[in-house]
Amino acid sequence: MGSVTFVRHGQASFGASDYDQLSELGTRQCEALGQYLAERGRRFEVVLTGTLKRHAQSLAALRSRLAGLPEARAVPALNEYDAEALVRAVAGNRPPVHQPEGDRREHFRLLREGLERWMRGELSVPGMRDWADFQGGVAAVLDELRQSGAEQVLVVSSGGPIATALAHVLQAPPSAVVALNLQMRNSAVSELTFTPSRHWLVSYNALPHLDHPERNGWMTHS
């Protein structure tokens, strides 16, 4: 039986001109996870990431504390949807509300609406995959892992692809993807086990590496 350990990237740069960069705290979150895994003797045969900068930076921070990780393979299907484009589409192309002066609650309300409409096929964004293609790409990665023969797999990605993978395994509706996605915390760990025929969910959205008095305030969502 194999195991897939999904890691959502560390805190990115919400409110900055380039969101796709780890914050200082995001780097520390991933370093702490790498140390946690190293202390428990975790080893991985296969490492996959998306192609975004925050994925590569998160893996680099993990690698700095977790020796022996093999070279990663970057898989575009593990990239996040374009959250800003969805928010803009719903908001009528007003200035993005995730800027520092924006309303974070309004941002996530608009994002939830945009995700639901995108998944229903009511909203398309130029240059962004439709929901069926997004979901199919994630499912194909899971299928590949089941047939790979690997026993320990590490996947560093974003909330959207990870939530899609978990919902696929649970045979849950798209509304569950939205709920799983928007609750997922930075550097959180979710785990599946698998045989050649199927996957099973083991854990979701865990942060054992941040459960320490010295790391109060390290738990973030965006």
Q: Which domain holds residue 208?
A: 2-80+130-215
User: Of 98, 128, 158, which residue is a domain's last?
Assistant: 128
Look-up of token digits 């509304």: 175
| 167 and 57 fall within a common domain | yes
Same domain assignment for residues 199 and 134: yes
- Could you report the per-residue pLDDT of 56-94, keeping only the tens digit for each? 999 999 999 999 999 999 999 999 999 989 998 998 756
Which DSSP letter does residue 40 get?
A: T
Does the residue 196 lie in any domain?
Answer: yes
- From the list 174, 192, 198, 193, the residue with the least C-alpha distance to 122 is 174
Instruction: Report if residue 221 sits inside a domain.
Output: no
**Predicted local confidence at residue 77, as pLDDT:** 98
91-111: pLDDT as tens digits: 875 655 555 455 678 888 999
Q: What is the pLDDT of residue 15?
A: 65
> What are the percentages of helix, strand and coil residues in the chain, rounded to 5?
45, 15, 40
Closest residue by Cα to residue 2 from 168, 135, 145, 182: 145
- Please check whether residues 70 and 103 belong to one and the same domain: no
Place of tokens 């780890």: 22
Residue whose entry in the numeric block shows the structure tokens 């993978």: 165
Cα–Cα separations (whole angstroms), residue 108 to 46, 86, 165, 197, 218: 34, 11, 21, 37, 20
Judge if 67 and 173 occupy the same domain: yes
In a domain, 12, yes or no: yes
**pLDDT of amino acid 16:** 63
Same domain, residue pair 11 and 98:
no
Residue-level pLDDT at 94: 60
Residues of the chain with pLDDT under 70: 14-17, 93-103
